[in-house]
């Protein structure tokens, strides 16, 4: 089956007064039709920049998508799109849901109109038809009294409702790919549960592929099929959720998994934290980006970026520990959340 999205060797930098910040440093991944992929990582790892590149929202300048990068959506090279092509692409083929529902909706426009806007532009509907469809979308995202609520303004909705509206806008033209950038981080836990269930439902109904950007591993375990772990602009590990949660191979993934307290287990020991902070991407390190914080660091790690090792069809890791020369290291975590002594 042809891939919906193919990203190859993507490099994106930002030019600031202090120099060039290399936000994304050579990543490649695929997304199938209807798949749900989670990109996990902390602030500054490049996940949001990656999403923005896919949807064509990188401003150049100060951003720069380096030569040699390629992003193919449905066979077409997005990076070569003209402005007009980008405008058609955004909203109808790919759409995005942002983190903060308060600021991503236009406060002066009725909600129904905001959903209809997308339909008018991309599907060429008349205003009347678009508004009818907008009400249907509101029903799809389970907003009660959809018809009367379509005539209301964003401030009359609560945070969770606003996020549903955002999802309705994003899905109005039935895009093939939905990018969700931390869609539940700003919401209360019980509302978050509702939104996640909604997204899973909609995915089943509409067959939309989802790329979910988050740092919440619980959400990943709930909704994602495949996971990419990013650190400092690179992909350090990728696999399906079972691979990542039960057989993680990269020290950063180990640290990430063991720094999250588990509700269902009775843990008495300290949480694992990784000392220090991620490297400044103004002057990215020569070798593996995680070397300066990794307890398993070796000399080679400081000198060269590790080669990618294929653990299985689905599971790949970028770490020198998997080189034949490297010493054997037991996976300190997985299968029951046993704590590691970091």
Partner 1 sequence: MEGTRLSTNQKELLVVKNLKKYFRVGSKSILKAVDDVSFVVKEGETLGLVGESGCGKTTTGRTILGMYPATSGEVIFDGINVQNLDKRGKKEFSKRAQIIFQDPYASLNPRMTVGDIIGEGIDIHHLYTGKERTEKIYELLGSVGLNKEHASRFPHEFSGGQRQRVGIARAFAVEPDFIVCDEPISALDVSIQAQVVNLLIKLQREKGLTYLFIAHDLSMVKHISDRVGVMYLGTLVELASSAELYKKPLHPYTQALLSAIPIPDPDIERSRQRIVLEGDVPSPINPKPGCRFRARCKYAKPICSEVMPELKEVDKDHFVACHLY
Partner 2 sequence: MVDVNKDKFVIIGCKDKDAEAIVRPNLSFWQDAWRRLKQNKVAILSLGILLVIIVLTIFVPIFSKQDFSEQNYELLNQRPSAQHWFGTDNLGRDLFVRVWKGGRVSLIIGFVGTFIELVVGCIYGGISGYFGGKVDMVMMRIAEVVASVPYLLVVILLLLVLPKGVFTLILALCITGWVGIARLIRGQVMQLKGSEYILAAKALGANSSRVLFKHLIPNTIGIIIVYMTMDVPGFIFDEAFLSFLGLGVQSPDTSWGALVFEGQGVMTNHPHELIFPALAICLTVLAFNLLGDGLRDALDPKLRQ
Which residues in this chain contact partner 1 in the complex, by CB under 8 A? 42-43, 158-161, 188-194, 196-197, 215-222, 241-242, 245-246, 255-257, 259-264, 266-268, 270-275, 277, 337
Q: For partner 2, give the closer residue by CB, 17 or 43.
A: 17
Choose the contact partner of 298 out of partner 1, partner 2, none; CB within 5 to 8 A by kind. partner 2
Closest CB 78 distance from partner 1, rounded Å: 29
Choose the contact partner of 189 out of partner 2, partner 1, none; CB within 5 to 8 A by kind. partner 1
| Cα(161)–Cα(94) distance, integer angstroms | 22
Helix H or strand E segment including 299: helix 299-303
Residue 277 within binding range of partner 2, rule CB under 8 A: yes
Single residue of 295, 310, 312, 338 touching partner 2 by CB under 8 A = 295
Residue 261 within binding range of partner 2, rule CB under 8 A: no
| Cα(180)–Cα(212) distance, integer angstroms | 5
> What Å distances lie between residue 256 and 129, 274, 278, 337, CA to CA?
48, 8, 13, 12
Alpha carbon of residue 245 to chain centroid: 17
Residue 169, φ and ψ in degrees, nearest 5: -60, -45
Residue 83 within binding range of partner 2, rule CB under 8 A: no
Closest CB 19 distance from partner 2, rounded Å: 9
Closest CB 240 distance from partner 1, rounded Å: 9
- Under 8 Å between Cβ of 169 and 85: no
- Under 8 Å between Cβ of 234 and 289: yes
Residue 239, φ and ψ in degrees, nearest 5: 175, -175
Residue 276 within binding range of partner 2, rule CB under 8 A: yes
Choose the contact partner of 152 out of partner 2, partner 1, none; CB within 5 to 8 A by kind. none
Choose the contact partner of 325 out of partner 1, partner 2, none; CB within 5 to 8 A by kind. partner 2
Residue 28, φ and ψ in degrees, nearest 5: -140, 130
Pairing of strands 36-40, 226-231: parallel
Choose the contact partner of 221 out of partner 1, partner 2, none; CB within 5 to 8 A by kind. partner 1
Single residue of 280, 310, 312, 338 touching partner 2 by CB under 8 A = 280
CA atoms within 13 A on the CB side of 315: 15
Closest CB 190 distance from partner 1, rounded Å: 5
Question: What length does the chain have?
Answer: 342
Choose the contact partner of 172 out of partner 1, partner 2, none; CB within 5 to 8 A by kind. none
- Specify the stretch interacting with partner 2 by CB under 8 A; choose among 71-79, 126-134, 199-207, 293-301: 293-301
Handedness of CA 315, 320, 72, 43 (dihedral sign): positive
Output DSSP code: residue 293. Answer: G
Single residue of 9, 16, 259, 265 touching partner 2 by CB under 8 A = 16
Q: DSSP letters along 49-108, please? A: HHHHHHTT---TTTEEE-TT-EEEETTEEGGG--HHHHHHHBTTTEEEE-S-HHHHS-TT
Residue 17 within binding range of partner 2, rule CB under 8 A: yes
Single residue of 327, 330, 335, 336 touching partner 2 by CB under 8 A = 327
Q: For partner 1, give the closer residue by CB, 105 or 173.
A: 105
Residue 303 within binding range of partner 2, rule CB under 8 A: yes
- Under 8 Å between Cβ of 210 and 127: no
Closest CB 319 distance from partner 1, rounded Å: 17
| Cα(240)–Cα(236) distance, integer angstroms | 14
The binding site for partner 2 (CB under 8 A) comprises 16-18, 275-277, 280, 282-283, 291-300, 303-304, 320, 323, 325-327, 329
């Amino acid at each position: 089956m042809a891939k919906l999205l193919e990203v190859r060797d993507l490099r994106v930098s930002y030019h600031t007064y202090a120099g060039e910040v290399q936000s994304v440093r050579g990543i490649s991944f695929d997304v199938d039709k209807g798949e749900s992929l989670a990109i996990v990582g902390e602030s500054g790892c490049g996940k949001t920049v990656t999403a923005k590149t896919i949807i064509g929202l990188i401003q150049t300048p100060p951003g720069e998508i380096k030569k040699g990068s390629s992003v193919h959506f449905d066979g077409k090279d997005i990076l070569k799109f003209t402005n007009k092509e980008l405008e058609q692409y955004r909203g109808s083929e790919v759409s995005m849901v942002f983190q903060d529902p308060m600021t991503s909706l236009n406060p002066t426009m009725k909600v129904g109109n905001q959903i209809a806007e997308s339909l008018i532009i991309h599907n060429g509907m008349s205003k009347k038809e678009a508004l009818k469809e907008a009400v249907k979308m509101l029903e799809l995202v389970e907003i009660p009294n959809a018809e009367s609520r379509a005539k209301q303004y964003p401030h009359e909705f609560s945070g969770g409702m606003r996020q549903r509206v955002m999802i309705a806008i994003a899905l109005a033209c039935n895009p093939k790919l939905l990018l969700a950038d931390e869609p539940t981080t700003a919401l209360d836990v019980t509302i978050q549960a509702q939104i996640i269930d909604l997204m899973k439902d909609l995915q089943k109904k509409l067959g939309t592929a989802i790329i979910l950007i988050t740092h919440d591993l619980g959400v990943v375990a709930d909704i994602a099929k495949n996971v990419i772990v990013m650190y400092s602009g690179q992909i350090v590990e990728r696999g399906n959720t079972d691979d990542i949660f039960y057989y993680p191979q990269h020290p950063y993934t180990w640290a990430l998994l063991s720094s999250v307290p588990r509700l269902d287990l009775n843990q008495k020991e300290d949480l694992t934290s990784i000392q220090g902070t991620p490297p400044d991407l103004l002057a990215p390190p020569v070798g593996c980006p995680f070397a300066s914080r990794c307890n398993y660091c070796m000399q080679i790690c400081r000198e060269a970026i590790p080669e990618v090792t294929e653990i299985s069809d689905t599971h790949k890791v970028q770490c020198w520990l998997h080189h034949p020369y490297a010493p054997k290291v037991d996976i300190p975590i997985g299968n029951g959340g046993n704590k590691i002594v970091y």
